């Protein structure tokens, strides 16, 4: 998301990078996107990885939602992460749409909400 461009373009690039990984490494994506069942140790590690991803997304959201309380950033990051995961799994199971088409779906659904969140300020 580094670069000298508008926030919307930065967000689009971040979504595209995630989906490029899914497209280029579908087997690895399936492993990372699914919390294993039946193996408590593997499930714990998976949850730790996902918690790290959520924290990273929350940190990036500060640029899109300045002044938002921590709880709002965390809630938004969980929503985005889980939504992108579900969409990625769906895309893997329903091939035929391009990565650009999937990115457009995300942008049409998510970007207006992020813009609205950027305009909402409240106390923590």
How do the pLDDT tens digits run along the chain, 124 residues long? 556 778 889 899 999 999 999 999 999 998 888 877 888 998 889 889 889 989 988 888 888 888 889 999 999 999 999 999 999 999 999 999 999 999 999 999 999 988 876 666 555 4
pLDDT recorded at residue 120:
60
Q: Determine, yes or no, domain membership for 84.
A: yes
Mean of the per-residue pLDDT values of the chain? 88
- Confirm whether 27 is domain-assigned: yes
Q: Is residue 1 part of a domain?
A: no
Total count of domains within the chain: 1
Distance CA 15, CA 9 (A): 10
Domain range for residue 85?
7-118
* 123 lies in some domain: no
Are 105 and 88 a contacting pair, CB within 8 Å?
Answer: no
The residue among 83, 110, 88, 82 whose CA lies nearest residue 11 is 110
- The pTM score is 0.83
> What's CA 12's distance to the chain center, in Å?
11
Taking the C-alpha atoms of residue 13 and residue 2, their distance in angstroms, rounded to an integer, is 9
Q: Is residue 124 part of a domain?
A: no
Number of neighbours of residue 24 by Cβ within 10 angstroms: 10
- Domain membership of residue 78 (yes or no) is yes
């Amino acid at each position: 998301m580094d670069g000298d461009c508008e926030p919307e373009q930065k967000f689009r690039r971040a979504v595209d990078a995630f989906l490029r990984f899914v497209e280029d490494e579908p087997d690895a994506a399936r492993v990372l996107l699914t919390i294993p069942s039946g193996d408590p140790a593997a499930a714990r590690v998976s949850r730790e990885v996902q918690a790290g991803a959520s924290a990273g997304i929350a940190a990036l959201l500060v640029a899109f939602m300045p002044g938002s309380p921590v709880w709002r950033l965390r809630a938004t990051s969980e929503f985005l992460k889980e939504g992108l995961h579900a969409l990625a799994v769906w895309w893997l199971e329903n091939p035929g749409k391009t990565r650009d088409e999937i990115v457009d779906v995300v942008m049409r659904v998510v970007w207006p909400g992020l813009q609205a969140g950027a305009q909402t300020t409240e106390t923590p």
